[in-house]
Amino acid sequence: MINDVDLKKLKSIGISHSRKATWSCRKKFWYTINNWYNPSSSVTRNAYFGNLVHHLAELVLPNYKAENHNITFYHHLCREYDDRNAKDLTSVDPNDLEKDKGLAISVFMVFVEMYFSENENVLSKLKKSYRLLKSELYLKRQKVGKHVYNIKIDQVLQKYDDKKIYLLDFKCKSQIDEYNLLKLLSFEQQLFLYAKGFEARYQKKVAGIYQLLIRKPDLRMCKKDNNDFATFIKRVAKDVEEKPDHYFKPLFVFISDKMMETFTQEENALMNEIYTAIEQGESAFYKNTQMCLKPFTCDFIDACANGGDTGLLLKHF
Ligand code: SF4
């Protein structure tokens, strides 16, 4: 069986939002705070697409060079990502990884063209209205209220006209429910935590948050592509160019004091509950079987099915 978590250590090194999100099933949360993972599942293909787009955006947008805007260069950046994360990618078929890489490169190439375009479009408008202050800002061990967190912000922006600070978060999804996602944005704990963390570190108020939705294309490599990677990328890119509103959707919410106050109260209540459960030990971490197959099959399903024989089914990070 797994060991008890060192609560004091966890409180001092901080908790990330993704770990906290697994609290929906307390057993899953217990596995993750113990740094266990299932070696047979690791990364999902949708997560891989999203990670690549984030990786490309982080490296390319702040230092864009027109001479690098080609498939070879972006492919090289994606391979660097693969090399760094080789351990997590072993369970995915390399052919599937290559196809998802093609999708990420196609979408990102059109993104860059629109973002830096002189013509007005949804992305160039964003670029022209805001100065990019920081890309991939990592706030390690950041105290927010009573608790310590590890926070990663995709972009910090300053609006040219009102000089106020805004945060931007890229969210890659295969299915986009724009109507409900916009509502969700007004109480998205993750984004409010980012804003609160930024304010605590820099003593500057965050006026609002953008979430830039990027859709994963559902196109697949087929006969038309003659098994040629570059042909596939160009075909997908053409589809993205023809339907930019389908692929790129910026959502926006202003942050009010009332919203921040509500977030702070809810966050404190949740963290107190989490730390109290940790103090009580593993038996406080019961299973939520509603989460086993939603939104994907849980990484720990084998361990739970096997009565928690973690030594056989799980490995330590
Ligand atoms: S398999 Fe189900 S019960 Fe077990 S950790 Fe995952 S979500 Fe929780």
For ligand 1, say whether the CB of 304 is within 6 Å of any of its atoms.
yes
Same domain, residue pair 77 and 127? yes
Q: Which structural domain range is residue 98 located in?
A: 38-220+231-255
Nearest CA among 80, 107, 82, 116 for reference residue 96 = 82
Same domain, residue pair 28 and 64? no
Give residue for tokens 């490599």.
Answer: 221
In a domain, 268, yes or no: no
Q: What would the mean pLDDT of 8-22 be, rounded to a whole number?
A: 88
> So what's the pLDDT on residue 307?
74
Question: Which CATH number does the domain housing residue 78 bear?
Answer: 3.90.320
In a domain, 260, yes or no: no
In a domain, 266, yes or no: no
Same domain, residue pair 295 and 243? no
Same domain, residue pair 153 and 301? no
- Ligand 1 centroid to residue 303 C-alpha, Å: 8
Residue of 40, 297, 298, 310 to test ligand 1 pocket, by largest number of atoms within 8 Å of CB: 298
> So what's the pLDDT on residue 236?
92
| pLDDT tens per residue across span 167-192 | 999 999 888 888 888 888 888 899 99
> So what's the pLDDT on residue 281?
86
Structural domain count of the chain: 2
Q: At residue 40, does pLDDT exceed 70?
A: no
For ligand 1, say whether the CB of 300 is within 6 Å of any of its atoms.
yes
- For residue 43, name the pLDDT band (cuts at 50, 70, 90): low
- Ligand 1 centroid to residue 302 C-alpha, Å: 9
| pLDDT tens per residue across span 283-307 | 889 999 999 998 778 888 888 888 7
**Which of 5-19, 39-53, 116-130, 134-148 is the least confident region?**
39-53
For ligand 1, say whether the CB of 298 is within 6 Å of any of its atoms.
yes
**Which of 89-93, 230-234, 253-257, 275-279 is the least confident region?**
89-93
How do beta strands 130-144 and 147-159 pair? antiparallel
- For residue 6, name the pLDDT band (cuts at 50, 70, 90): confident
Same domain, residue pair 199 and 110? yes
Same domain, residue pair 56 and 180? yes
How far, CA to CA in Å, does 240 sit from each of 55, 109, 173, 218?
19, 10, 15, 11
Same domain, residue pair 211 and 247? yes
Same domain, residue pair 124 and 164? yes
Q: What would the mean pLDDT of 130-159 be, rounded to a whole number?
A: 95
Nearest CA among 169, 146, 141, 147 for reference residue 156 = 169
Same domain, residue pair 204 and 77? yes
Q: What would the mean pLDDT of 190-209 be, rounded to a whole number?
A: 96
How far apart CA 110 and CA 286 sit, in angstroms, is: 46
In a domain, 53, yes or no: yes
For ligand 1, say whether the CB of 25 is within 6 Å of any of its atoms.
yes
Q: At residue 308, does pLDDT exceed 90?
A: no
In a domain, 56, yes or no: yes
Contact indicator for 166, 208 with CB cutoff of 8 Å: yes
Same domain, residue pair 47 and 110? yes
- For residue 161, name the pLDDT band (cuts at 50, 70, 90): very high
| Nearest-10 Cα torsion for 161, 164, 165, 167 | -60
Same domain, residue pair 76 and 150? yes
> So what's the pLDDT on residue 177?
87
